[in-house]
Chains A and B, each alone.
Chain A
């Protein structure tokens, strides 16, 4: 999509900077309880909609909750759940994709037709449909995103496994008596890793966007849990008087997602992963 030719040093810089930004956000999400100045859900109507001060560095929202603390805790929700979705959908995709590719036959056919079916939907439409039928809520959103995402991993991994199965080193391993489990573990998985890393990095960005979009629509994280999309939703009511309430969380989403995208693109060039979109 954004694939472009860059010099090696530019690529390295992009990787360094985006990694540093992401590392910072990961640290924030882990250390939130220690670095946040206030309890993010503590309501104090006496100081509602307060301007920035030493006590509240970024001011407060309409419940008098500290905006900075909510932003820092928000990193926890966004990154945490994005990672969970990534890990779970990768796990399912890896299992199904390897099985389909390695065993082949009608099992392969059946599983891949299922993946095609899921891919025939526009992504977020299906996610919304699933959330709509299961009911709004954080876990429903996580399940819905997982149900849609794993097929992409499964398809990709299956394709790589099929093309690799016939290569000589696999035949050699089989001839020297390696078991199926060992061949999958020792030979297939290490070879399919680079594209997974690239796709995973990009998917983290998408997952964060999707989680925040669903929370914004009122279908994901329910108040008072601090989450960036939900904060924008709450802050929009004060667009005339206190626009920063909805500007800050958006900037946080933008920074994190753009870092994941830049890192993903740079890695895909670096690792020589060809992408179709």
Chain B
């Protein structure tokens, strides 16, 4: 197990180096150089002298390879530079905004799991019934509805018309309801269908017939045996769709004025705040990779049939 984990962790390094490289290359390829972007974002009138000074400070006069090595060195120490706009370290900005985003993401995942486990399970057990058709409809809807529009529709119905929930901001539990629903619909769509497919697959297995012939209660077979195994692919789904969740938070935070990480990212894009953009993308890639790793490890615990050894070789 240790060797498996070490191998997986080592495999993360080149991907993160690549992420940094991609961002680095894009910054150099972009028509605006960081010194100009900095002056524009900080509202300083650009003169040749200041530009030259800033170029020196950012190390833009060094060779490209040296600059890349320097960037990697800094990022490894979690130093993403200072935001051009607020002039505080990017890492600090991220840390202060992270809790809001994580809360939103966690509450959406919880909501998605609470809805999609019973829905997916029932639509497999009662295949082609009303509930199955409903879950199929929900799956198409969740995959096709623009999240920002869904957010506004919910605001219109539940905040403007019915006045049940606040329109925007963060504070009480009521503030969580609409953003979480908005964010979780796409996840519900995926998880419900994933669970349905894996339950249907399990129902074909011999042990189900065996359990039935032994006279074990149908309910026991379903909940204790089928559901327990069938739920495992959902975990993979959770890891695979983390990207969807992450980009979802960007849009949902924008709609509900949620003071999180995603909204900060959009502001940074509009201001050309290069260190923040770079920091966000690199961190998002890291988060994505690490969460997928965690999901894989969890899955090994859940399903002992997948051997550690087999995984190491692939």
A contact residues vs B (CB 8 Å cutoff): 1-4, 116-118, 120-126, 128-136, 205, 209, 212-213, 216-219, 229, 232, 236, 239-240, 243, 246-247, 249-250, 253-254, 257-258, 260-262, 277
Contact = CB atoms under 8 A, between A and B. Distances in A.
A277 B240 contact: yes
A261 to B, nearest CB: 5
B146 A213 contact: yes
B269 interface: yes
B277 A129 contact: yes
Interface stretch (B22-30, B64-72, B86-94, B221-229): B22-30
Contacts of A250: 146, 149, 152-153
Nearest to B240: A277
Interface stretch (B106-114, B210-218, B280-288, B294-302): B280-288
Contact of A121 (B140, B143, B254, B281): B281
Given A2-B139, A117-B19, A219-B269, A123 B148 contact: no
Contacts of B134: none
A10 to B, nearest CB: 10
Contact of B285 (A120, A130, A136, A229): A120
Contacts of A277: 240
A1 B19 CA distance: 28
Contacts of A131: 269
B193 A217 contact: no
A125 B284 contact: yes
A124 B250 contact: yes
A135 B152 contact: no
A117 B18 contact: yes
B62 to A, nearest CB: 20
Given A120-B288, A232-B152, A136 B270 contact: yes
B172 interface: no
13 contacts: A120-B18, A120-B19, A120-B285, A121-B19, A121-B243, A125-B284, A133-B27, A205-B144, A213-B251, A236-B152, A247-B153, A250-B153, A258-B141
Most buried by A among B32, B146, B266: B146
Interface of B: 15, 18-19, 22-23, 26-27, 30-32, 136, 139-141, 143-149, 152-153, 155-156, 160, 189-190, 193-194, 196-197, 240, 242-244, 246-247, 250-251, 254, 265-266, 268-270, 272, 274, 277-278, 280-281, 284-285, 288-289
B18 A135 contact: no
B146 A120 contact: no
Given A3-B193, A120-B15, A254 B139 contact: no
Given A122-B247, A258-B141, A129 B26 contact: yes
Contacts of B284: 121-122, 125
B26 A133 contact: yes
Contacts of A136: 269-270
A2 B193 contact: yes
A180 B146 CA distance: 44
Given A126-B281, A250-B146, A262-B140, 8 more contacts: A1-B190, A3-B197, A118-B22, A216-B146, A229-B146, A246-B149, A246-B156, A253-B146
Given A1-B193, A120-B289, A257-B144, A133 B274 contact: yes
Given A117-B22, A125-B284, A261-B140, A217 B277 contact: no
Given A128-B265, A133-B26, A239-B160, A116 B15 contact: yes
Contacts of A217: 250-251, 254, 266, 269
B18 A132 contact: no
The 5 closest A-B pairs by CB, nearest first: A122-B243, A250-B149, A132-B269, A124-B247, A258-B144
Given A122-B284, A135-B30, A254-B144, A240 B160 contact: yes
Contacts, number: 157
Given A117-B22, A232-B149, A261-B140, A132 B268 contact: yes
B233 to A, nearest CB: 12
Contacts of B250: 124-125, 128, 217
B260 to A, nearest CB: 14
B156 A243 contact: yes
A131 B30 CA distance: 10
A4 B193 contact: yes
Pick from A121, A131, A246, A258 the residue with the most CB of B within 10 Å. Answer: A121
A228 to B, nearest CB: 8
A165 B171 CA distance: 60
Contacts of B152: 232, 236, 239, 246, 250
A122 B242 contact: yes
B277 A123 contact: no
A122 B156 CA distance: 30
A118 B18 CA distance: 9
Nearest to B254: A217
Contact of A125 (B18, B246, B278): B246
A261 B26 contact: no
B136 A2 contact: yes
Q: Which of B30, B32, B270, B281 has the most CB of A within 10 A?
A: B281
Nearest to B161: A243
Nearest to A118: B22
